[in-house]
Amino acid sequence: MTLLAHGIGGAADLPIPFAYAVIGAAWALTFSFAILAVAWREPRLDPDSPGIALPRALRAFCDRTAVRTILGTLGVLVTASALVIGLFGDQDPARNALPGMVYIYLWVGVMIASLVVGPVWKIVSPVRAIHRLGCRIAGRDPAAGLVAYPASWGMRPAALGLLSFVWLELASPEPGSVFAVTLWLLGYVVVGLAGLTVFGTVWAERGDPLEVYSSVMARLSPMARRTSGTLVLRSPLNNLAGTPAVAGMVAVTATLLGSTAFDSLSASVGWRDLVLDLGGTSIPARTLIHTAGLLAIIGIVAGVFTLAARATGGVSRDERGLLPIRLAHSLIPVVAGYVVAHYLSFLVEKGQATLILLADPFGLGWSLPGLGGWDVQYVLSTHPAALGSIKVAAVLAGHILGVTAAHDRCLELLPPRHRLTGQLALMLTMVGFTFTGLYLLF
């Protein structure tokens, strides 16, 4: 089992012709924008809306220190086990569970879970747990670092961390290499602990690539907290509106969206032929081409979005320069839609294969209870119509939610005369992303 992060299936998954899917998606986006323009004329999204409080017993359980300590300890134990499996298990990726643990359970599973229940990685993060323990022993406040975190950095360190992961996954010579995945995971732990020690917990919130990714996805979760800390159910769009406008947010979302697009592109016959023509059999040349392609796609996403966000009148130059950061949250639903569309079958089906490998992680003939004789159940790829419908629906829903979030924020930021015209470039950008995304999914 070679674990590359490509979803299972392609054009055959979709029960309708490609042209119909794209045209229908474009019309849906256009009509949704028209409806918003007519019926949604004042900002409505409120990140401080009270929501519906969860039952008291459930809130008490979720907030219990012992529960969070147990989850943090499990995070440390699972990460330590993953490193041990990577270091001492079979180095053949087809017989080692580590690539699946990282590429499937961590990169996809944790992030999809964050869409449902909130920022999962913040709770189970092994680096946070180890840092808390160290601070307790040293009698230090975990929030306090040795020096202040530079505000100008914003989320740029997290964007670089995410870029390192997607490069390993999509552009490195051997993305399934057990050693390479082990090295990345070990580097993540070391850098994370160093960042927390130097800067305090603000590093986890701004510089930790996995926590930032999880927290970004959690902005679409129905779970949230009031300013008082009470756990509530709230409209995901209201939660999305509360996304902090922090430097580097465009880089984070562009890296996530661009890498997913490149993942689909790199699986195409045209891209493989181009790499073969330009790079031949030279591994360094092929790696360089893949790296250039990955960076180009991420740069295009960031550049197009930035230009579209700034393409408005009625605001000063300084305000126009801040618009991409203030509107970057509208890309989060688009990212979420592509993650579900692109990786869902990968999570469900390749995830089972990884679980089977975990039954005997060191090739010693072990067999964990319940996994003996287990075979992968291809519950999605054997139902192409259902899978195709899920893919198209996820992409379309993500874009519609993104248009809605951008529209509401533009009503807040732009002067009345430019509220609609100032959004046209963003609307065209969303339509372009939709066309491109559906094309790549095929």
Question: Average pLDDT of each block of 10 consecutive residues along the chain (442 residues)?
Answer: 42 55 71 79 90 92 92 96 94 92 95 95 96 93 93 96 96 93 97 96 96 96 90 94 94 95 88 90 93 96 94 85 93 93 88 88 73 76 82 87 91 85 84 80 69
For 243, other C-beta atoms within 10 Å of its C-beta total: 20
Residue 15: the pLDDT is 54
How many angstroms separate the CA atoms of 38 and 191, rounded?
Answer: 49
Q: Tell me how far apart the alpha carbons of residues 412 and 322 are, in angstroms, rounded to a whole number.
A: 14
Task: Provide the residue ranges of all domains of the chain, joining segments of one domain with +.
Answer: 11-362+372-441
Element (H, E) at 385: helix 384-413
* Distance (Å, whole) CA 50 – CA 235: 10
Residue 1: per-residue pLDDT: 43
The C-alpha atoms of residue 272 and residue 13 are separated, in whole angstroms, by: 21
